[in-house]
Amino acid sequence: MDEMRLIPIILASKSPRRKQLLNQIGVEFSVQPSSVKEDFSLDLQPATFTEHWAREKAKNIAKSHPDSLVVGADTIVVLEGKILGKPVDEKDSFVMLKSLSGNTHEVITGVSIYSEKYEVDQTFNECTFVSFNTLSDSDINYYIKTYNPIDKAGSYGIQDWFSVNVHKIKGCFYNVMGFPLSAFYHHYRAISESLNSQDKNY
């Protein structure tokens, strides 16, 4: 994939987990967090919601970085059709985790790879099903006080202590962390091969 490194890659996210995962697969990139904020009042299906905001985030950064490929991402938790974003405070965090206790929910991440200059506009989503054990109030409070999951969709991080409460996962583990590595790499490689074959003189 050396040829792809000639085009600067920008991750339009401040998520340390997404940064960690891209580093894990050897992608060279810089970070430029998008200023776009999700509007949860939009009447969109969950998967469409994630794709819409991932693309908006990528486009937001691409406007000022036309020579780069911009990667935007948006992750939500969905329980019985209801979208759960990031909690606004500790009380909201408790309510979220209480609702997820003993249930199976979906984690959906939308990812967008965008560049007007290189005519790249690919957006997709990945869904993973996650089942929790029944959580005690004391465990929920301990987790909130110790790990402060305010910056996490659904108010938990599968990569930290909360993993002891995960009964079962069906789908991509990395998607639950906020970035579906396998699906991303599939699209990323296809884009690289397409750009090379078109000889766009980049």
The number of angstroms, rounded, from the C-alpha of 160 to the middle of its chain's C-alpha atoms is 17
Catalytic residue among 74, 139, 151, 160: 74
The pairing of strands 69-79 and 104-115 is: antiparallel
| Cα distance between residue 58 and residue 127, in whole Å | 20
Ranges assigned E (strand) in the chain: 9-11, 30-31, 69-79, 82-84, 104-115, 120-132, 166-170
| Known catalytic residue at 121 | no
| Cα distance between residue 83 and residue 45, in whole Å | 9
Active site residues: 74
